[in-house]
Structure 1
């Protein structure tokens, strides 16, 4: 009898260990799935957060329907224009004006100059941001090259127009806005999202 009582005791710990291993394995699998799901949902959640709080300087990705109905001539706002090029794009990309003084509500037109320095055609996409981030909701683009992909043949140049106005409701304590565009290779960005 002592032999029979010893066998169940020795098999029981191994069964318990196997259960613990299975439980640990499933816990790890569950955590991996949860982390993947969280990472997948992070971008839309971040976009919603930025829309609600007005931070991150994201501007609208569609044109404003009309220009402002009134112009606030009692104050001026400095608008700075900046351009960045993502690594590997092979273009030059610069604003033709780096700074201007505007009255809120006034419509202005400027342009960025782009040139494809590579030996083959490529497509660029400019992504805008405004700082301070709170001011992004007051920067209205009526026409912008950032709404579309910009194809350029090898060695070709283009003038990329921007028509904008600053909403007269811009808070009084904001005196300077910086509009920055980062130029990406649109074909690479499409490949990464597919």
Structure 2
């Protein structure tokens, strides 16, 4: 009888631990976002920007563009140019190319990052392919624009920013619809 009671207590405790771990797993993402925002780490860019600024023609910031693919992503993915020079307050644009060399439709999502991370708050995207999932048919190639503004309030000692994107294959989670090309 005593063994049965102690076994029930053990099972109850283990179930409580499992439920607590499950709840903690869901809480990690919001906790992570709050911590990154509070400490200014991770270099995440803010969402879509809709403000206006006057151009500071007396200053220039070099913006470098880097792309990487996640391990399982076979697409070709790159910017048209490795860098550009932007005046704070001016709208700048870079075109990124994506090509699906496979024989199947695929879905992708790009995740951006800014370095140095302290400058992320001063980099405002007005349009970005990273705001939506990209679906490419077999052999399809697209040009994807990124329009952005380097904030006039960015510290004057920051003269170089790096905008990097990692492209992830999300086909398993968001299957694309194949397009019938006729015939």
Q: Same fold (TM over 0.5)?
A: yes
Q: Matches of residues 20-169 of structure 1 in structure 2 within 5 Å? A: 20-61=6-47, 63-66=48-51, 68-169=52-153
Distance apart, 1:90 and its partner CA: 1.9
Task: Tell which structure's C-alpha radius of gyration is larger.
Answer: 1
Distance (whole Å) between structure 2 residues aligned to residue 43 and residue 75 of structure 1: 37
Distance (whole Å) between structure 2 residues aligned to residue 97 and residue 105 of structure 1: 21
Q: Which moved more, 1:110-119 or 1:43-52?
A: 43-52
- Decide which structure has greater helix share: 1
What does the per-residue CA deviation read over 1:24-68, in whole Å, with 9 as the maximum and x for residues that have no partner? 33222212211111111101111122233332111133x2114x4
Q: Which moved more, 1:162-171 or 1:48-57?
A: 48-57
Unaligned runs of 5+ in 1: 1-13
Unaligned runs of 5+ in 2: 176-183
Name the SS of the counterpart of 2:41 in structure 1: coil
Compute the TM-score of the two structures, normalised by the length of structure 1: 0.81
Name the SS of the counterpart of 1:130 in structure 2: strand
Compute the TM-score of the two structures, normalised by the length of structure 2: 0.85
Name the SS of the counterpart of 1:111 in structure 2: strand
Distance apart, 1:154 and its partner CA: 1.0
Which residue does the alignment assign to 1:6? Answer: none
Distance apart, 1:189 and its partner CA: 4.3
Q: CA RMSD in A?
A: 1.9
What does the per-residue CA deviation read over 1:129-184, in whole Å, with 9 as the maximum and x for residues that have no partner? 11122211211111111112222221111111111110111123322211111111
Distance (whole Å) between structure 1 residues aligned to residue 15 and residue 154 of structure 2: 49
Which residue does the alignment assign to 1:9? Answer: none
Distance (whole Å) between structure 1 residues aligned to residue 97 and residue 85 of structure 2: 21
Distance (whole Å) between structure 2 residues aligned to residue 85 and residue 144 of structure 1: 17
